[in-house]
Structure 1
Amino acid sequence: MLRAVVVPLALIGLTALAGVVLGRVYAGSLLTLLVVGSAAGSVLVSVAARRLPSWLVAPVSVAAMAGWTLWSLRVAASRADLPGGLLEVTADAARNGIPRLLTAMIPVEPTPDTVLVPVVAAWLAGLAGAEVALRTGRVLLGYLPAAGLYAAALYVVGPNAEPAIGATLAFVAVAAVGLAAPTAASPAGGDPSADLAPRVRAAVRVRLAVSAALGVAVVVGLVALLGPVVADQVDGRPVDPRRYVEPPQVQTLDENPLIRISGWALNPEQKLLDVSTVRSGAAAPSAGAGPDGGTGEGPAAPGDAAGSVRIRLAVLSDYDGVTWRVGATYRNAGRILPPSTPARDSTVETVQQQITVAELSGRLLPAVATPLEVSGARVAYDPATGTLIRPEGLAPGLRYTVTSARERPDNNLLATANVPAGAEVARVLRVADGVPDPLRRLAAQLAEENGAPYARAAAIEQFLAEHYRVVADAPSGHAYPNLGFFLFGPRNAGGQEGTSEQFAAAFAVLGRLSGLPTRVVVGFESSGQGPVRAGDAYAWPEVLFDGLGWVAFNPLPRPDNEPRPVEEDFRPTPEDPPPSEAPAPTVEATASPEPVAAPDGPIDRGGVSTPVLVAGGSGGLLLLVGAVLLTLLAMRRSLTRARLGRGDPGQRIAGAWREVTDALHLAGRPVGHDLAATEVAGQARQALADALIATRRDQPGPPAGDTETGRSAGTAEAAGMGAGGVDELADLLNEVGFAPGAATPAQATRAAEVASAYVATLRAARPWWRRLLWSTHPAPLRRRPTDRSPR
């Protein structure tokens, strides 16, 4: 009778301990209680149905399991405040239970999809163990399902909780109690050999004694062998199974939401969201180190206007010279998100937002930074950036509520705050290869007179706000060529103006070149109540400061401020300065003797005669002109050598392109700075063809046997050869613009050959006197090099 009670209780305890171990990574105790219920229900159903046929026990137990599981899912959905009916919630949990459990953020909230697998697994383990232990009497074999469930719970927890030493000792103790329970007594007082003959009885006793001794020896041996191994593993770090499961991902549309700014700016009345916010009183300043995910709204930030609320959509930390990307790792999360530690001496304000999605698409979920609790939508969360996504994607009419902790740093500490450095922030300090030299020089100039990190950031913010204008129809793009045109392009060709995309991207790149850890954030500025439209979308940069967290800056120009030309405060030195190996000769001034003549007397014959003075003066002038021409020739040749032979392959390809554009300028066919490379190549082909045709027309008639057709064919052939080379050079320039650092030395050599051949062909087609002036013309020396927009 005792065994009939002890063994079922032992099975219930072993199965329930798996829930205790797994519950360490769950929020609250709901998961543990549900697993204990599954363990008790499965074993008690087997005990109650013990007299039924064995084939009937499993269907009865499974039916009871279905009822318990549905009730558990209903309780979990109610506590998590999830929308939808029970059948809809159950179907979703059945489809996604395992991947969501393995990608959920710690602590895991007990929602239907995260409790379904543990509840069902515990019931099945209890059913299998009870049937084996109670029906066949093989208790040790009946422990195997519970032991497997316990091991699976340890594996799922992995390194996310302390070692389960207490639970493991309890598991061993409960198993031992179940094994030690006596079997039913025999008629002869409990001796199993009492009803046997004396000889047989003695043999049975010997066999039992030998079996017991062997069993004890085996157990002692296993303890001696495996004990040290198990003890050593207590302090080891287990494998985290989450690394084998891909977490929720953003769509391609959401990887770089910065490019959506220009589209929203062209349709400013498009309704994206409806927002209703409630703010509580600000908390007192707190001490502690600010997390990387925290955001302080710094001075002059757009969201600091009275009554306004800045709603964050995405944080972009990775830049490869072409595109800013999110680069976040999202984990499935429940309503309660991991808490963040406020930055030192910051003021924390609790902001509750009720947001209804209108026409906003994608998976990124807007919220005020930093969210603490979300209800009404199942979300995934990235603690490093404090951003949210909805793995199923946004849909019109989706309504959810977010409670956020909005931080404001103490502005008095910014002036003396430092910025972190090292491997931990290398990601937000990285500058991709191929930075244009004017961009580097501008960053160096802004940082030269501003040593403190905040002073550097403020200088970049002020420079952008004072020299550039915001326009709604500016084209999208924030690659190096786009930023170069935005910062240094001519105003009359669309340069020095853009949307907040270019302002934020330029600030972030200049900041990183100045040693500041920066990132770009995309979001919306809202009044706090009512619709949020596409015109409210904008981007802003943030800088990470020690002890203060991420602080936002606003490089946008102030209202009604007329921007000053960039040239007033930034005059970049020539990219290829004139060489010093052939300086212009210095002409020393000499005193001319003044002849002294006696009154009414003859001229003193000891002086220099007038013809000699005239000849000497003319000779000096000729020498001076010759020296200037030789100097210009040397400077031009040195400039060509520097362009085609110095720097990395990308710089040499750009230098070859400038040789072609300079040749067009010298040929009287200058090209505009706003033209794409393919358009310039077309003009270069036409200029070469026109020059060759004009040369043929000006030459004397053909010799005997020649025809006009032959002359036309030769002209077309030469023009075709030059056209193909210029087109090839334009393709190389576009490759450098769109993929900085990808050019090879062989391509740079080919670009130099194409440029040299084109310039020589175009020069040869000029009249003889223009060919003489071609190599000494000073225009290429004073013209500012301009990178062509790759298209």
Structure 2
Amino acid sequence: MVTTTRAPAPPTEPAAGRPGGPLARLLRAVPVPLALIAMIALAGVVLGRVYADPLLARLILGAAIGSVLVSVAARRLPSWLVAPVSVAGLAGWALLSLRLAASHAALPGSLAAVAVDAARNAIPRLLTAMIPVEPAPDTVLVPVVAAWLTGLVAAEVALRTGRVLLGYLPPLLLYAGAVYVVGPNADPAITPTIVFIAVAAAGLAIPSHRNTSASGDPAAGLAPAVRAAVRLRLLAASAAGVVVMVALAAGLAPLLAARVSDRPVDPRRYVEPPQVESLDENPLIRISGWALNPDQKLLEVRTEAGAKASPRIRLAVLSDYDGVTWRVGATYRNAGRILPVTEPAPGVTTDTVRQQITVADLAGRLLPAVPTPREVTGARVAYDPDTGTLIRPEGLASGLRYTVTSAREQPDVNLLATANVPAGDAVARVLQVPEGAPEPLRRLATQLAEENGAPYARATAIQEFLAEHYRVTADAPSGHAYPNLAFFLFGPRNGGGQRGTSEQFAASFAVLGRLAGLPTRVVVGFAPGGDGPVRAADASAWPEVLFEGVGWVPFDPMPRPDQEPREVEADFRATPDNPPPSQVPEPTAEPTATPPAAAAPGPADRRGGLSTPVLVGGGIGTLVLLAALALLTLAVLRRNLTRARLHHGDPGRRIAGAWRELTDALRLAGRPAGGDLAAAEVAERARRTLAEARAARPGPSGAELVDGEPDELAGLLNQVAFAPHTATPAQADRAADLAGRYAAALRATRPWWRRLLWTVHPGPLRWRR
């Protein structure tokens, strides 16, 4: 009898919903991609706290979803093919993001022009943008690209190799970078950080299909004794891990909690904000030139809504006075279409004024607008919230047309009679009186203050004194230094004194007001008679006084039409020991042409599951990507710093920047110059350092440098230090050339790897400038 043995039946396919079924595999495959998307999106939430609206967070969420899904869909492709496919998706999403941002910010121009401008200036504009940042092409490009690349690297490492914890590194770095960029400009990101940790833990808690058997038990199929030993080891390892985590939490939690309230470093302090040329730093000296050319067309204005009477258009606010010149002294930050809103004082009402302004012959970078601007379309601007003034960093051009919506402030005049003026450190800048004020000025201010006790009465007395005793003439020389003001106020009338333009009237009021204890400033702008051309004859300067509960109030010290001025000696007489000046002081030199506006600063395996090449390649690729991004950022910041030092600002500032380039080169070469050395001693060290470096490394040394050129640069620096107003643009160009050639010559003596490090060394960004 033959006995047949039946072969065992093949195992049946697990049903859906049972361990190992399609639903179980799906549930194991979804959590890690979702965790990566959520972690990258949380970085966008953290960064979006300093943006004006949620557009950036939405664009980063789209980049996270797109990059991770591309990697998920391409898992069956060779690993070397995933990156090109993902980069193509990145290009498409980046262009769509730029289009959405440009439309949101109402920026003119084609998509190609917008993309090129954003790619060139994204990093510096992001770090110099005003808080809150408006989502614009140049402020969203870097975050969107960083989010997509983060998703690509994280998904490849976590999904293709199964190393989830290693795949969390790119999102963690992106999150830390977002926290750093925000800096002290928002509240601590406690809630997003807790959610970030929870999402990461959830992704780790669910095992993937690569490291879990069909039954879900790693010891399944082993002999009972071996199975017990394996389970015991797993239990011991888990217990040890819990102990280590609890110990780390107990040790680090107090330290981290103590750091929550610390004020972080703001990376924006490493980047030079947009600057104005000397022509715009002191626009008060342009009043006399405009007065001599009254028919010159500067602007074309059309009021679209709001104002029934033609409002004053403000060009600049000058708050700093050193006894020689009034200066703007503003810090401009790149701004979007919507400008930050500041609440007006309780005694001030506002009405909305919207004007379309077309630039004609007005030069410089200052952008005229009715105070206080709230929205600007048609031009990219930078804004100073302290003064409410605007600049166009690229400079004004004939034909430029923009629309500005302003909240015009109207103080309650009924509160002025009893209003006080503020005091203390907050207003020290607008109360400061430089040393050297002529004694007659002090005596006149004292006389007007003693006769009028209340602040508003003092301001009105100064206004009436100037309006009653002086006359306006278009041919008065420019100048508002102490000698110019003394001659204007007390000089003999038959010798050219006691007459001037609005420059002298506004400057005299502001100085007399500060001597009388009033916080004052000077405003330069235009007072057009209505819509249409704004000509040079409409240019004017006027003083403003700050009152508590009311804000800045303008005053008009100009004489009334057809009013014969009274004799100054009838109401004020200089003492014999301090006779009035009898000679006309030298007028302030007025620029006759606008310096060319500087260009905007400018700102990269086989399928094998757990195979070593894939794991090593993913890790190295992540490190190379992050390192390249960091080096590129440092190189762009260093280049922008050098450009700002050598090519922006007045000649004195550029010469000082050239000297800082030379001393930074010495520090980068390991031969820093001590702060106790004179300029000539530093120049001697610079010559000796270059000679020793060339002797130690003979051969081609890059730019040739004459031995005496560091001494020439030291001489230019001493000239700026002791005669700051004598430096010329040609001397500044010479200083920039000397500093650049010295740094190039010294860098050429370094080994190749030190030359590379020289370019991206972060030292000059943080060394005291």
Using the TM superposition, give the Cα deviation of residue 457 of structure 1 relative to its aligned residue in structure 2, in angstroms.
0.7
Cα distance in 1, alignment partners of residues 346 and 228 from structure 2: 82
What letter matches 1:439 in structure 2?
L
Q: Which segment drifts farther, 30-39 or 345-354? A: 345-354
- 2:311 maps to 309
Deviation string 1:111-141 (CA, Å, 9 cap, x unpaired) is: 1111111111110111110000001110011
444, 447, 457: which is aligned to 2:446?
Answer: 444
What letter matches 1:162 in structure 2?
D
Alignment of 1:756-771 (within 5 A): none
Alignment of 1:548-697 (within 5 A): 548-575=550-577, 673-674=583-584
- 2:618 maps to none
Evaluate the alpha carbon distance shift between residue 196 and residue 352 of structure 1 in structure 2; reply closer, same or farther with a 3 A threshold: same
Cα distance in 2, alignment partners of residues 559 and 188 from structure 1: 99
- 1:544 maps to 546
The residue matched to 2:552 in structure 1 has which SS? Answer: strand
2:264 aligned with 1:262, yes or no? no
Q: Which segment drifts farther, 479-488 or 338-347? A: 338-347
Using the TM superposition, give the Cα deviation of residue 237 of structure 1 relative to its aligned residue in structure 2, in angstroms.
2.4
Contact 1:276 1:353 in 2 (8 A): yes
- 2:95 maps to 70
Q: Which segment drifts farther, 512-521 or 389-398? A: 389-398
2:34 aligned with 1:9, yes or no? yes
- 1:626 maps to none
216, 223, 243: which is aligned to 2:242?
Answer: 216
Using the TM superposition, give the Cα deviation of residue 364 of structure 1 relative to its aligned residue in structure 2, in angstroms.
0.6
Contact 1:322 1:738 in 2 (8 A): no
Using the TM superposition, give the Cα deviation of residue 368 of structure 1 relative to its aligned residue in structure 2, in angstroms.
0.3
The residue matched to 1:309 in structure 2 has which SS? Answer: coil
Using the TM superposition, give the Cα deviation of residue 453 of structure 1 relative to its aligned residue in structure 2, in angstroms.
0.7
- 1:526 maps to 528
- 1:233 maps to 259
The residue matched to 2:306 in structure 1 has which SS? Answer: strand
Using the TM superposition, give the Cα deviation of residue 344 of structure 1 relative to its aligned residue in structure 2, in angstroms.
2.6
Evaluate the alpha carbon distance shift between residue 126 and residue 312 of structure 1 in structure 2; reply closer, same or farther with a 3 A threshold: same
What letter matches 2:302 in structure 1?
S
Larger RCO, structures 1/2 (Cα 8 Å, 6+ apart): 2
- 1:25 maps to 50
2:478 aligned with 1:476, yes or no? yes
2:451 aligned with 1:426, yes or no? no
Contact 1:188 1:195 in 2 (8 A): no
Deviation string 1:341-380 (CA, Å, 9 cap, x unpaired) is: 2333433221111001111111111000111111111111
Deviation string 1:443-498 (CA, Å, 9 cap, x unpaired) is: 11111211111111111111111111111111111000111111111122211111
- 1:492 maps to 494
Evaluate the alpha carbon distance shift between residue 116 and residue 171 of structure 1 in structure 2; reply closer, same or farther with a 3 A threshold: same
Cα distance in 1, alignment partners of residues 325 and 257 from structure 2: 51
Contact 2:470 2:566 in 1 (8 A): yes
Cα distance in 2, alignment partners of residues 452 and 37 from structure 1: 61
2:82 aligned with 1:50, yes or no? no
Contact 1:322 1:739 in 2 (8 A): no
141, 152, 174: which is aligned to 2:199?
Answer: 174
2:134 aligned with 1:132, yes or no? no
Alignment of 1:243-322 (within 5 A): 243-280=269-306, 307-322=309-324
Contact 1:437 1:575 in 2 (8 A): no
- 1:323 maps to 325
Normalising by structure 2, we get a TM-score of 0.71
Using the TM superposition, give the Cα deviation of residue 207 of structure 1 relative to its aligned residue in structure 2, in angstroms.
4.4
Cα distance in 2, alignment partners of residues 213 and 343 from structure 1: 63
User: Unaligned 5+ residue runs, structure 2?
Assistant: 1-24, 588-721, 726-769
Using the TM superposition, give the Cα deviation of residue 576 of structure 1 relative to its aligned residue in structure 2, in angstroms.
6.4
What letter matches 1:81 in structure 2?
A
Cα distance in 1, alignment partners of residues 257 and 349 from structure 2: 48
Cα distance in 2, alignment partners of residues 213 and 148 from structure 1: 29
Normalising by structure 1, we get a TM-score of 0.69
Using the TM superposition, give the Cα deviation of residue 201 of structure 1 relative to its aligned residue in structure 2, in angstroms.
5.1
Alignment of 1:373-412 (within 5 A): 373-412=375-414
Contact 1:544 1:551 in 2 (8 A): yes
Cα distance in 2, alignment partners of residues 97 and 362 from structure 1: 24
Q: Which has the larger radius of gyration?
A: 1
What letter matches 1:539 in structure 2?
A
Evaluate the alpha carbon distance shift between residue 187 and residue 561 of structure 1 in structure 2; reply closer, same or farther with a 3 A threshold: closer
Cα distance in 1, alignment partners of residues 360 and 345 from structure 2: 34
What letter matches 2:491 in structure 1?
G
Cα distance in 1, alignment partners of residues 284 and 119 from structure 2: 37
Q: Which segment drifts farther, 466-475 or 195-204? A: 195-204
Deviation string 1:229-248 (CA, Å, 9 cap, x unpaired) is: 11222223222222222221
What letter matches 2:427 in structure 1?
V
CA RMSD of aligned residues (A): 2.3
- 2:676 maps to none
Using the TM superposition, give the Cα deviation of residue 516 of structure 1 relative to its aligned residue in structure 2, in angstroms.
0.5
What letter matches 2:318 in structure 1?
L
Deviation string 1:1-41 (CA, Å, 9 cap, x unpaired) is: 22211111111111111111111111121111100000000
- 1:710 maps to none
Q: Which segment drifts farther, 449-458 or 240-249? A: 240-249
Evaluate the alpha carbon distance shift between residue 523 and residue 210 of structure 1 in structure 2; reply closer, same or farther with a 3 A threshold: same
The residue matched to 1:571 in structure 2 has which SS? Answer: coil
Cα distance in 1, alignment partners of residues 355 and 32 from structure 2: 54
Using the TM superposition, give the Cα deviation of residue 199 of structure 1 relative to its aligned residue in structure 2, in angstroms.
6.7
Cα distance in 2, alignment partners of residues 355 and 517 from structure 1: 32
The residue matched to 2:133 in structure 1 has which SS? Answer: coil
The residue matched to 1:444 in structure 2 has which SS? Answer: helix
Using the TM superposition, give the Cα deviation of residue 194 of structure 1 relative to its aligned residue in structure 2, in angstroms.
3.6
Cα distance in 2, alignment partners of residues 19 and 321 from structure 1: 49
What letter matches 2:137 in structure 1?
P
User: Unaligned 5+ residue runs, structure 1?
Assistant: 282-305, 578-653, 659-671, 678-736, 741-791
2:177 aligned with 1:152, yes or no? yes
What letter matches 1:122 in structure 2?
A
Deviation string 1:583-616 (CA, Å, 9 cap, x unpaired) is: xxxxxxxxxxxxxxxxxxxxxxxxxxxxxxxxxx
Q: Which segment drifts farther, 265-274 or 339-348? A: 339-348
Contact 2:348 2:551 in 1 (8 A): no
2:146 aligned with 1:121, yes or no? yes
What letter matches 1:127 in structure 2?
L
- 1:353 maps to 355
Deviation string 1:216-274 (CA, Å, 9 cap, x unpaired) is: 22212211111111122222322222222222111221100001111111111111110
Evaluate the alpha carbon distance shift between residue 187 and residue 236 of structure 1 in structure 2; reply closer, same or farther with a 3 A threshold: closer
Sequence identity percentage: 74
